[in-house]
């Protein structure tokens, strides 16, 4: 009796199957359908959604940012130079007279007045980027990273309607 069931199962497995019915609403190959529609209608224009900003970096590449910082230090040159001493917990800067051997040119932060070298200065935009300001030289001033981030945070909070705590 078991052999009869096995034979019947083998017969059903080996039997030819009818082709499945294809609904006219099922798209087998979407790219072929799109090509057909493009031939009839004409190729549609490619429309891409855009955000408020691009994915490109508005500040430029690393070389451009380095040149911008060098320009800030040379243009806003302070009356003192800086000697950087590397310590185990980080660099320490010491003010020295301009022209001292080993001294690096420096400029001062526009808010707090701390001396900044090419490695520590950040470019602060006078007219912020959210108000259409660019990184052109007539819109830049030197700032330390702390002051630059504080003014940016205050501007963001102002735009969102929050007050600084």
Is the pLDDT at 89 greater than 60, yes or no?
A: yes
Residue 150 lies in a domain: yes
Residue 89 lies in a domain: yes
pLDDT at res. 116: 93
Residue 49 lies in a domain: no
Residue 135 lies in a domain: yes
pLDDT at res. 147: 93
Nearest CA to 79 among 45, 51, 115?
115
Is the pLDDT at 152 greater than 60, yes or no?
A: yes
14-59 pLDDT, tens per residue? 667 665 555 555 555 666 666 666 666 665 555 555 555 554 566 6
pTM of this prediction? 0.57
Residue 93 lies in a domain: yes
Distance of CA 80 to the CA centre of its chain: 35
State mean pLDDT over 58-69.
Answer: 82
3-state secondary structure of 105: coil
Percent of the chain with pLDDT over 90: 30
Is the pLDDT at 153 greater than 70, yes or no?
A: yes
Count the Cβ atoms, other than its own, within 10 Å of residue 97.
9
Q: How many residues does the chain have?
A: 165
The more confident residue out of 30 and 139 is 139
Residue 14 lies in a domain: no
Beta bridge partners of 122: 143
Is the pLDDT at 122 greater than 70, yes or no?
A: yes
CA dist., res. 70 & res. 78, Å (int) = 13
- Structural domain for 103, as ranges: 62-160
Q: Find the CATH number of the domain harbouring 155.
A: 1.10.30
What is the DSSP-derived secondary structure letter of residue 135? S
pLDDT at res. 138: 92
Q: How confident is the model at residue 123 (pLDDT cuts 50, 70, 90)?
A: very high
Residue 29 lies in a domain: no
Number of domains observed in the structure of the chain = 1
pLDDT at res. 17: 63
Torsion angle of the four alpha carbons 75, 78, 83, 86, in this order, in degrees rounded to the nearest 10:
-70
Is the pLDDT at 124 greater than 80, yes or no?
A: yes
Residue 96 lies in a domain: yes
CA dist., res. 132 & res. 7, Å (int) = 81
Is the pLDDT at 131 greater than 60, yes or no?
A: yes
């Amino acid at each position: 009796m078991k052999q009869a069931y096995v034979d019947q199962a083998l017969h059903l497995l080996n039997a030819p199957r009818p082709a499945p019915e294809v609904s006219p609403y099922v798209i087998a190959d979407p790219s072929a359908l799109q090509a057909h529609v493009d031939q009839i209608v004409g190729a549609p224009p490619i429309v891409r959604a855009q955000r408020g900003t691009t994915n490109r970096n508005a500040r430029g590449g690393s070389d451009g940012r380095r040149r911008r910082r060098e320009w800030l230090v040379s243009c806003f040159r302070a009356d003192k130079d800086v000697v950087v001493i590397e310590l185990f917990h980080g660099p320490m800067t010491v003010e020295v007279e301009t022209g001292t051997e080993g001294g690096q040119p420096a400029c001062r932060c526009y808010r707090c007045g701390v001396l900044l070298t090419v490695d520590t200065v950040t470019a602060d935009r006078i007219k912020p980027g959210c108000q259409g300001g660019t990184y052109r030289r007539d819109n830049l001033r030197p700032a330390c990273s702390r002051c630059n981030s504080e003014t940016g945070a205050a501007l963001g909070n102002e735009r969102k309607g929050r007050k600084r705590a």
